[in-house]
Amino acid sequence: MSLPDVTQHLNALEPAESAERYNYGHFRPRLVAGEVVKTVAARGIAPGEPAPDFELPMVGGGTWRLARHLNPPILLRFGSFS
């Protein structure tokens, strides 16, 4: 998808929801503390280690596979703030 196509697609989306519609109530300090404990215990993939290959569905159809996008290296960031 070219940049003009992406811009046109984003402009066609519905307006963003108000902040009141998001549910932040389930994010608690104990959950954050649990993630810190897992990080300190070195569970999961260590920083700098290669990620396992995975495939995700794309919004416009098709799939995105990590193994097809290794050169140049990419940064994977997973998480949610809502």
Q: Is residue 81 part of a domain?
A: no
Quote the domain boundaries for residue 44: 8-69
Give tens-digit pLDDT for 15-47: 665 655 555 566 666 667 777 787 777 777 777
Domain count along the chain? 1
Q: Is 73 within 8 Å of 51 (Cβ atoms)?
A: no
> Is 75 part of a structural domain of the chain?
no
In a domain, residue 16? The reply is: yes
Residue 51, in any domain of the structure: yes
Task: Report the chain's mean pLDDT, rounded to a whole number.
Answer: 75
The dihedral through the CA atoms of 33, 36, 42, 46 has a sign that is positive
* Cβ count near 66 (within 10 Å): 15
Q: 43-55 burial by CB neighbour count: b if 16+ within 10 A, else e?
A: eeeeeeeeeeeee
Q: Is residue 15 part of a domain?
A: yes
Higher-scoring residue by pLDDT: 30, 49 = 49
Whole-Å CA distances, 19 to 16, 24, 26, 81: 9, 10, 15, 12
Is position 76 within any domain?
A: no
